[in-house]
Structure 1
Amino acid sequence: MFLRKYFFILPLSSAVLLWLSFPGGGELWPLLFVALVPLLVQISKSSVKTAGLCSLFFGLVHFLFLLYWIVIVLGRYGGLHWFVAVLALLLLALYLGSYYFIFGVLAGYVLSFFPGAVAVWLLPTLWVGLDWVRGILFTGMPWMDLGYGIWEKTDFIQVADLLGHHGVTWAIVFTNCLLAILLTKKQTVAVSIFFLSSFLFIFGSGAIYSSWRTERLSHVFSEKQIKSVVVGIVQGNIDQSIKWSASQQKNTIDGYLALSHQLLADERELDLLVWPETALPFYPPKNKFILPLQALTTQFDIALLTGAPWYEVIDRKARKVEFFNSALLLDSTGQFSGKYYKTHLVPFGEYVPLKKFLPFLAPVVEAVGDFTPGMIEQPLVIKDGHAGVLICFESVFPELSRKWVLAGANMLVNLTNDAWYGKSSAPHHSLAMSVFRAVETRRSLVRSANTGISAFINPLGRVEFRSELFKPYGFAADVVLYEEETFWVRYGYLFAPLCFFIGMTGALVAVIWGRFRRTALLR
């Protein structure tokens, strides 16, 4: 009776527990393994309709907690009225929460018509499958899937080079489902033993694999013949409110140059210097501020990788020009030797989808321009390093880092400007997701952020150095260059779509079976 009358209490509890478990929230990661239990208990005790509504409510609250920083982006920097910014967040959270509505409805059928020994395997599979769809549909929004919550526990996440972060998410949801089923359904001794054996097998085999992989790769990285490059990161800490002001361009470049000279004076010889996304707040190469950058690279015989806007004239007669969010490589002779145009643009941040029908959202992109997407081609070459570049939001999408590795990248570089997010949880989330990109591909990941968090992440996912937020930094490290293609890069990326196919098939069987049984009972 209590669960029917106060059906929102348990879903709300799950949303709060998830927030407390994530980085930038409570960071109490063990809560991940029990956070969904209240929601799953409510689903098991509710009608299918109520299960769906409870799950939708859970999803709405969860994403409001998770993505509250969108109001900062749209309101403070996007030029929208705060009311419109909050409304946009609500609509986005409602859309993302709809995936949990689907999960809740199907989970209600699965728990009603399948024994616990089947449901405990099917539900996490369905969850991961829906996560995957959410990450690709309508450009995708895979922000902070559950597996990312244990990003610091590198002893647990080495399996990501087999199944990606989705594999870690699956194990977390499996544990929650197991506990919920044990709490809500009486089990025979045989089934209880099966549950325990399944749990021990999954986590035991994962622990053994992670231990073996860590030991093996640590040995490989300690060998003298392993190649590396020395990389310096500069975190300029440029306030977003003045970043695009023409009167501040000289101060911005002078700040980056001062930090770079200080780093080069303190450190041994560097191969590459990395500045963040749009560190150059103007369109090179004809701008006069390019000259001191060229002088820097030639004086110290280094390459400079920096973010900047770029444009190409497509048709002079028609005055058609395309603009890009780019990463530019200046070599040691001061010449532009390579560039990459951001592939996965941020909706309502770098372009407006359906702009003709949503003209009131145009102010959101005025600060940075309405960009055109590029494509992944060849990595940028710096001595032995072949860098695959991820600009800002692109580090959220595992498929992009996979494509870079297949194109020949032996290191990943993430240029980002997280100043948009203010003093929120978002920069912590970005770092957590970047760790998994390193483990999935076994590529060192260099992260240069305007206001932080900048970091060096090794192929084991260990953060070897990280900066503080909103402080200027300059630091350097040896970056290991690993060439092996992981199982995930070759085949493991198929795990999530396979989960969707299996999960939906199993759930549809439960739906059809359930309706057939109801029809038979009514006859």
Structure 2
Amino acid sequence: MERIGDDLDRRWPRLSTASAAGLLASARWRGVLAVLAGALPALAFPAPSLWWFAYVALVPWILLARSAQTGRRAALDGWLGGLGFMVAVHHWLLPSLHVFTLVIAALLGLLWAPWGWLVRRLLGGMPSAGRTAAALVVLPSGWLMVELVRSWEGLGGPWGLLGSSQWQVGPALRLASVGGVWLVSALIVALNTAVAALVVARAARPSGTSRTAARAIPATAGLVAVAAVTTSAWAWAPRPEAAGGMRVAVVQPGVIDGVGGADKRLAREEELTRGLAGRDLDLVVWGESSVGYDLAERPDVARRIAALSREVGADILVNVDARRSDEPGIFKSSVLVGPQGPTGDRYDKMRLVPFGEYVPARELLGWATSVGKAAGEDRMRGERPVVMDVGNGLKVGPLVCFESAFPDMSRHLTREGAQLLLAQSSTSTFQSSWAPEQHASLAALRAAETGRPMVHATLTGVSAVYGPDGERVGAPLGTSASATATYDIPLAKGVTPYVRLGDWPVHAALAVLAVLCVAQGARALRGPAKGRFRRPAPEPHGPRARTAHGSPAHHGH
């Protein structure tokens, strides 16, 4: 604290001790505001689902970072805002990971520090029209880099990507078919940047001047551009072509408490599945960890499920969570069981939940098991995705739980010929939180991206189905349901631009940032005066405001 006070005395020698204390208190409150501003976008996600709020939710954070006195302070605002965002979107992890949730959020929040710095450099002070125009491109690109890095499985995966807040908005789903969730995220950030730039231009004094109007032009053009891109995608992007249909039943046993949970769950699943007889089904889907026994070790369980398959007249996709007899370790596997028993089609989960299914660097972070519900033993990983034939020429691509958050996995299954995407999931640990609805909503984005319908089947809700355009099919099964639901799912053919082109918005963002770095490097080579971003122009009403003659006003410095 004394060091901070000495620094304040050096920078503002005429400040009294009381004034310095006031500035320190102000800095603390600024940090709180940064955390709160960063948390605001979480309201756009389920369960609140205030999807429209995403279009302005970043504005307070942007305005705070641009007002920072220094680039370091802006980076701190970015970090604290990122911390607030991660905690707000993942707050339902607190009962399981406790304080470790905050540690992870603080580490991941650092990814937003460079973004906060860019906000100040491009929008700080009274930004010129050129800097405002650059901000509309650079800030969305910087945000996509944050989302790209934190999408790595070891850092928690792509949960809470900003674009996924638009899972129920038709135009946004059309954008996802063109550029995936990445394109939706980028346009939301561009929209927020334009709104923030308009606020800054409007606050300029004197208002109504030609210079103020000139500063508002790029922001207004940005708003028009976002609207034009969205409208173009809605009008011109290829739509899924109808290719028949498929009748699928989801079995959701609900919460099973007490001793012998695996046996009780299996008995409930059998009871519910028998009620599906005579419905002319193509497939029955059970949720994640629906079978707690290795079917090779328990042929009696395999025979029971095969008998159910004969009774309902359809294959049953179960999910086995058990130690395997032929390989060491515990696997989570999607296993297809037909009238004669397991068909031989099996998919082993490839991407595991950090701390939930394995502990990264367990030698270093193994202590997390003592402060929360981190995995006591690491699950084993599968090696490749699998497309299964469920009869009648119908092919399905299974994913397990966490994997439905990864756009590349569903895109790969679509390229391999999957006509229907399936996610077997369980969020029973977080039953009364936002997690079940957040998880189910991801299937809408994956369906829209690939032009393939998707079934999200869970043990305890929310189970839901989405058509090839990302629109919901039928009614979901909520977290209070212990029931089955049958869905007539429209199938589609053709390839969406996103499946064909991949993550091109991310590549474009990388190119933008590379050009920015090259441009700044070239200026640095031309001389010290031109080797940096221009310092943001001072606020006209701030402590360094200019006089009427355009020269800096002096305040004893």
Category of TM-score, reference length = shorter chain? 0.7 to 0.9
How much does 1:151 deviate?
A: 1.2
**d(CA) in 2 for partners of 1:182, 1:325:** 51
Residue of 156, 178, 186 corresponding to 2:172: 156
Query: Which whole-Å deviations, capped at 9, do the CAs of 1:254-307 have from their partners, x for residues lacking one?
Result: 211111122335xx2101000001101222133223222111112332100011
**d(CA) in 2 for partners of 1:118, 1:391:** 41
- Specify the alignment match of 1:20 in structure 2: 43
Residue of 35, 38, 58 corresponding to 1:36: 58
**d(CA) in 2 for partners of 1:14, 1:339:** 45
Query: Which whole-Å deviations, capped at 9, do the CAs of 1:411-466 have from their partners, x for residues lacking one?
Result: 10000011022210111111222211111011100111111110111011111131
AA aligned to 1:61 is: G
Matched, 1:371 2:379: yes
Contact 2:252/2:461 (CA < 8 Å) preserved in 1?
yes
Residue of 277, 284, 307 corresponding to 1:273: 284
How much does 1:94 deviate?
A: 0.5
- Specify the alignment match of 1:327 in structure 2: 334
- Specify the alignment match of 1:257 in structure 2: 270
Q: Provide closer, same or farther for how the CA distance between residues 347 and 457 of structure 1 changes in structure 2, counting only shifts above 3 A.
A: same
How much does 1:107 deviate?
A: 2.9
Task: Give the SS at the match of 2:346.
Answer: strand
Tell me which moved more, 29-38 or 475-484: 475-484
**d(CA) in 1 for partners of 2:507, 2:154:** 16
Contact 1:156/1:207 (CA < 8 Å) preserved in 2?
no
Contact 2:352/2:358 (CA < 8 Å) preserved in 1?
yes
Matched, 1:339 2:355: no
Contact 1:376/1:403 (CA < 8 Å) preserved in 2?
no
Contact 1:389/1:412 (CA < 8 Å) preserved in 2?
yes
Q: Provide closer, same or farther for how the CA distance between residues 138 and 500 of structure 1 changes in structure 2, counting only shifts above 3 A.
A: farther
Tell me which moved more, 32-41 or 129-138: 129-138
Q: Provide closer, same or farther for how the CA distance between residues 513 and 13 of structure 1 changes in structure 2, counting only shifts above 3 A.
A: farther
AA aligned to 2:250 is: I
**d(CA) in 2 for partners of 1:253, 1:194:** 60
Contact 2:178/2:498 (CA < 8 Å) preserved in 1?
yes
AA aligned to 2:234 is: S
Contact 1:106/1:511 (CA < 8 Å) preserved in 2?
no
Task: Give the SS at the match of 2:135.
Answer: helix
**d(CA) in 2 for partners of 1:100, 1:332:** 53
Matched, 1:414 2:423: yes
How much does 1:485 deviate?
A: 2.2
Query: Which whole-Å deviations, capped at 9, do the CAs of 1:467-502 have from their partners, x for residues lacking one?
Result: 111321201112233232221112131321431342
Q: Provide closer, same or farther for how the CA distance between residues 277 and 137 of structure 1 changes in structure 2, counting only shifts above 3 A.
A: closer
Tell me which moved more, 380-389 or 186-195: 186-195
Matched, 1:292 2:301: no
Contact 1:284/1:310 (CA < 8 Å) preserved in 2?
no
**d(CA) in 1 for partners of 2:141, 2:518:** 13
Contact 2:401/2:423 (CA < 8 Å) preserved in 1?
yes
Contact 1:376/1:404 (CA < 8 Å) preserved in 2?
no
Task: Give the SS at the match of 1:263.
Answer: coil
**d(CA) in 2 for partners of 1:238, 1:406:** 36
Matched, 1:463 2:479: no
Matched, 1:167 2:183: yes
- Specify the alignment match of 2:390 in structure 1: 382
AA aligned to 1:14 is: A
How much does 1:200 deviate?
A: 1.9
Matched, 1:71 2:94: yes
Contact 2:404/2:446 (CA < 8 Å) preserved in 1?
yes
- Specify the alignment match of 1:475 in structure 2: 485
AA aligned to 1:29 is: W
- Specify the alignment match of 1:81 in structure 2: none
Q: Which structure has the larger Rg?
A: 2
Matched, 1:130 2:154: no
How much does 1:132 deviate?
A: 1.0
How much does 1:332 deviate?
A: 3.0
Contact 1:385/1:481 (CA < 8 Å) preserved in 2?
no
Residue of 453, 460, 468 corresponding to 1:451: 460
How much does 1:504 deviate?
A: 5.2
How much does 1:211 deviate?
A: 4.5
- Specify the alignment match of 1:484 in structure 2: 494
Task: Give the SS at the match of 2:319.
Answer: strand
**d(CA) in 1 for partners of 2:315, 2:513:** 48
Q: Provide closer, same or farther for how the CA distance between residues 455 and 443 of structure 1 changes in structure 2, counting only shifts above 3 A.
A: same
**d(CA) in 2 for partners of 1:487, 1:433:** 19
- Specify the alignment match of 2:8 in structure 1: none
Unpaired segments ≥5 residues, structure 1: 75-84, 315-319
How much does 1:28 deviate?
A: 2.0
Matched, 1:98 2:110: yes
Task: Give the SS at the match of 2:328.
Answer: strand
Matched, 1:307 2:319: yes
**d(CA) in 1 for partners of 2:336, 2:73:** 55
**d(CA) in 2 for partners of 1:48, 1:508:** 20
Q: Provide closer, same or farther for how the CA distance between residues 109 and 228 of structure 1 changes in structure 2, counting only shifts above 3 A.
A: same
Aligned residues: 492
How much does 1:386 deviate?
A: 1.3
How much does 1:369 deviate?
A: 4.9
Contact 2:66/2:121 (CA < 8 Å) preserved in 1?
no
**d(CA) in 2 for partners of 1:42, 1:367:** 39
Unpaired segments ≥5 residues, structure 2: 1-22, 205-210, 536-557
- Identity among equivalent pairs (%): 24
Contact 1:18/1:35 (CA < 8 Å) preserved in 2?
yes
Contact 1:253/1:289 (CA < 8 Å) preserved in 2?
no
Matched, 1:45 2:55: no
Matches within 5 A, 1:99-248: 99-111=111-123, 115-136=131-152, 138=154, 140-185=156-201, 189-190=213-214, 192-213=216-237, 216-217=239-240, 220-221=241-242, 226-239=243-256, 242=258, 245=259, 247-248=260-261
How much does 1:23 deviate?
A: 1.4
Task: Give the SS at the match of 2:303.
Answer: helix
**d(CA) in 2 for partners of 1:298, 1:519:** 74
Given the two structures, how large is their TM-score scaled by the length of structure 1? 0.86
Tell me which moved more, 166-175 or 294-303: 294-303
**d(CA) in 2 for partners of 1:109, 1:120:** 13
AA aligned to 1:371 is: R
**d(CA) in 1 for partners of 2:27, 2:289:** 52
**d(CA) in 1 for partners of 2:277, 2:430:** 30
**d(CA) in 1 for partners of 2:57, 2:157:** 21
AA aligned to 1:17 is: L
